[in-house]
Amino acid sequence: MYKAPITDMKFALRVHRKHSPHLAHSLPDDEMIDVILTEAGKLAGDVIAPLNHSADKAGGAKRHDDATVSTPDGFAAAFAQLAEGGWTSMEADEAFGGQNMPLALSSCVNEMWQASNMAFSLCHLLTQGLISALQHSASDTQKATFLPPMVEGRWTGTMNLTEPQAGTDLAAIKTKAVKTGDHYLISGQKIYITYGEHDMAENIIHLVLARTPDAPEGHKGISVFLVPKYLINEDGSLGARNDVHCVSIEKKLGIKGSPTAVLQYGDNGGAVGYLVGEENQGLAIMFGMMNHARFNVGLQGLALSDRALQQALSYAETRVQGIPLAKDAKSPIIHHPDVMRLLGQMKAESEAMRALMIYGAALLDESEASDDGDSSRADFMIPIIKGWLTEQSQIMTSHNVQIHGGMGFIEETGAAQHYRDARILPIYEGTTAIQSNDLLFRKTIRDEGREAKALIAEITTEAQAQISHDDEAISLLATDLQAKCQEAEDAINSLLARRNDARDIAASGVPYLMMLGTLTGGWHLLRQGVLASSALRQEGADTAFLRNKLASCRLFAALSLPQASSYAQMALRAGQATESLSIEDWLA
C-alpha cells in the first residue's frame, strides 16, 4: 500500500521557504500545511491507492458499443470524493471558486495522487492543465462558462494535439475548423487523448488544435478551440451531445486504468468549438501551458519513484532469503549489502527529486507573481525537471523489480505495474530528446550560456561554503558538488564552442540535461542536509529522520553524483562519436 511521505514533504517545504522570499509569505503556516498534507495523504492511501493494482489487473477502462466508456470499478466514486473534498480547486484562482494555493504546496498533494494511482489521477492532472490555460488565454465569457464547473470537479478537461500523422510534428495536423456564426465546426481525428471519454464527470471539455481553411501552412496556421462533449445552454445547464465521439480505447503497456481515446470529430456535420484567443495563435497558447504540463509529468516521475521505493522497502523488510554477510542467521534481504545499496540510492534520489520538484514549483510561483514576468530560471529548469525525473523513474522502478527478484517479474506483486506505468513518462508531453533540444538550443545556446552558467555558479558558491562543514556527510557532498560543477562548466563551454555544428551538439543534449539534473538534485539535497544538521541540535528534534537525511547526502555523493562526471564526458564526446557511425555501411 501507499503512505504519503508527509514528513519529507514538510521538511522540503521548510528548506525552500528559507531560500525563497516568495514562498516565505505565500505558503500557509506550518499547522495548515500539516492539515492539508495529512488529509490528502489519507485520501490517497485509503481511497485512491487500493484502486491502482485492481484496475491494472482488470485491464482498465472499457469502451461500449454506444461509444461510451466505463472506467475501472471505484474510479468514479473516488473522483467524486476528490471533488467533494475541494481537492480539484487547489490551484485555481479564487474568482472561479479556486483556493489559489501556491504550486509548491499543491504539487506535494499532486505527488500523492500520482503515486497512489497514476492512471486514475491523470484525469485531474489534465483538468488542472486546462484550467491553467484558460485562466491565461480564454475570454471572460469562456472563463465564466467553463472554469467554475472544472474547478468544482463536475467537468474535466483534455488536451487534443496528436493525430495519426502528426505526433511531435504538430505542423502536420489536419483537423479543420470552419467558422459558422459565433462558433466553429470542427472535423478530424485525434489520438492518444487521455480521458477523452469516461464516466467520472458530467461533461468533458476538449482543448483542440485545428486549422481554419485559409490558415498559413506549418506551425503558424494552428488555432486552438474549446469543444465540449455536451453543448452548454445559456443558463449553464447541459444541452445536446456535441459531434465528437470515442472511436476506440488504446491497449497500452501501462497506465491501463486511464482511457486513452481515439476521438472522431465531425461525423455529423461538425463539432461545435469556440476559438480561444485569436486564429493562428494556437501554438503560442498551447506552449503557454507546456511548462505546467511538463512540470507535472516530471512530478509523475517522482511519484512513481517514491511508490517504487516504498514497495521495495516493504518487501525487503519481510522477505527472508539467505544469511547476509557477517550475520549469523537468516534475515530479511534488507540486510544484504547490495539490497541496502539499491534502497539507499532510491531513498537519496527520491528525496533529491522531491526537493527539485518543489524548487521548480516555487520558480513557477515566483514567475507568475513577479511584476516583470521574469521566468528565465523557471523556463530553464522545466526541461531538466521533466527529463531528469522521468528518466530516473525508469531506474527507480527497475530497482524495485530487482529487489523483488523473481517475484518482481510476477504481476501479482504490483512491482511490474510501476515499471510499466513509468515507461510513458519520458515520452509524453515531449520526449527526453525534445526536452534536451529545448534546454540546449533555446535555453543555453540562444542566451550564450548565461542562465546555465548562473545556475552552476550558484551551486558552486553554496557548495564552497559547506566544504568545511563539521558534518562529514555535508562536507563530502559539498566537495564533490564543487568538483562536478567545474566539469559541468567545461561541458557548457564546449557546447557553446561547437554551436555551429548543430548535429554534433544535439547528440550531446540528453547527457547535458542529465548532468544538470544530477547536479541540481544534489544541490537541493545539500541544502536539506545543512538544515538537518542544524535541526539536530534543537530540543525535541526528530533525530531518526534528520540522521537519515544526512545519510541521504552521503549516499547521493557516493552513488548518484559520480554520474554527473559521466554525463559531462558524454556531453563532450557523444556528438563526434555518433557522427562517426556510417548509417549506409550499417544498413548495407
Domain boundary residue, one of 241, 264, 287: 287
pLDDT for residue 284: 85
Rounded CA gap, 99 and 86, in Å? 9
Domain that holds residue 480: 448-579
Q: What is the CATH number of the domain that holds 360?
A: 1.20.140.10
Residue 308 lies in a domain: yes
Angle (CA) 544 550 555, round 5°: 120
- Does residue 298 share a domain with residue 282? no
pLDDT for residue 285: 87
Residue 437 lies in a domain: no
Q: What's 236's DSSP letter? A: S
Residues 6+ apart with CB under 8 A from 8: 351, 354, 545
Q: What's 163's DSSP letter? A: B
pLDDT for residue 544: 97
Residue 438 lies in a domain: no
- Does residue 471 share a domain with residue 337? no
Q: What is the CATH number of the domain that holds 202?
A: 2.40.110.20
* Grid cell listed for 137: 488565454
**Cβ atoms within 10 Å, residue 147:** 23
- Does residue 317 share a domain with residue 193? no
pLDDT for residue 153: 98
Residue 252 lies in a domain: yes
Biggest CA–CA distance in the chain, Å, is 83
- Does residue 556 share a domain with residue 513? yes
* Grid cell listed for 560: 548518484
Residues 6+ apart with CB under 8 A from 178: 184, 185, 187, 212, 213, 270
Domain boundary residue, one of 233, 265, 287: 287
Angle (CA) 382 386 389, round 5°: 125
pLDDT along the chain (588 residues), means of 10: 96 96 92 98 98 96 96 98 97 96 97 98 96 95 98 97 89 94 97 98 97 94 97 97 98 97 97 97 84 95 98 95 81 93 98 98 91 86 98 98 97 97 96 97 97 98 98 98 98 97 96 98 98 95 97 98 98 94 92
- Does residue 331 share a domain with residue 283? no
Alpha helices by DSSP H, listed for 228-336, are 282-288, 290-318
In a 3-state reduction of DSSP, which class is residue 154? coil
Q: Give which of 502, 522, 352, 520 is closest to 441, Cα–Cα.
A: 502
Ramachandran assignment for 86, one of left (phi > 0), alpha (psi -120 to 50 degrees), beta (any other)? left
Q: Give which of 60, 100, 244, 88 is closest to 154, Cα–Cα.
A: 88
Rounded CA gap, 351 and 306, in Å? 9
Instruction: Label the pairing between strands 203-210 and 155-160.
Output: parallel
Question: What end-to-end distance do the CA atoms of the chain give, in Å?
Answer: 52
Residues 6+ apart with CB under 8 A from 18: 24, 531
- Does residue 547 share a domain with residue 485? yes
**Cα 284 to chain centroid, rounded:** 21
In a 3-state reduction of DSSP, which class is residue 460? helix
In 3-state terms the chain splits into helix, strand, coil percentages (rounded to 5) of 60, 10, 25
Domain boundary residue, one of 254, 269, 287: 287
* Grid cell listed for 249: 480505447
Rounded CA gap, 574 and 215, in Å? 40
pLDDT for residue 171: 83
Specify burial of residue 500 (Cβ count, 10 A radius: 0-12, 13-18, 19+): exposed
Q: Give which of 550, 528, 286, 322 is closest to 430, Cα–Cα.
A: 286
**Cβ atoms within 10 Å, residue 450:** 13
Residue 50 lies in a domain: yes
β-partners of residue 395 are none
Q: Of the listed 366, 429, 462, 487, which one is catalytic?
A: 429
Residue 402 lies in a domain: yes
Angle (CA) 362 367 371, round 5°: 135
Residue 436 lies in a domain: no
* Grid cell listed for 119: 492512471
- Does residue 420 share a domain with residue 316? yes
Rounded CA gap, 388 and 419, in Å? 16
- Does residue 148 share a domain with residue 35? yes
Amino acid at 387: G
The helix (H) or strand (E) run that includes residue 547 is: helix 543-555
| Number of domains composing the chain | 3
- Does residue 259 share a domain with residue 319? no
- Contact 40/4 with Cβ under 8 angstroms? yes
On the CB side of 145, how many CA atoms lie within 13 Å of its CA? 21
- Contact 549/477 with Cβ under 8 angstroms? no
* Grid cell listed for 580: 562517426
Taking the alpha carbons of 159, 165, 170, 172 in that order, is the dihedral positive or negative?
A: negative
pLDDT for residue 181: 95
Residue 440 lies in a domain: no
429 is catalytic: yes
- Does residue 257 share a domain with residue 293? no
Rounded CA gap, 11 and 339, in Å? 27
- Does residue 342 share a domain with residue 230? no
- Does residue 271 share a domain with residue 188? yes
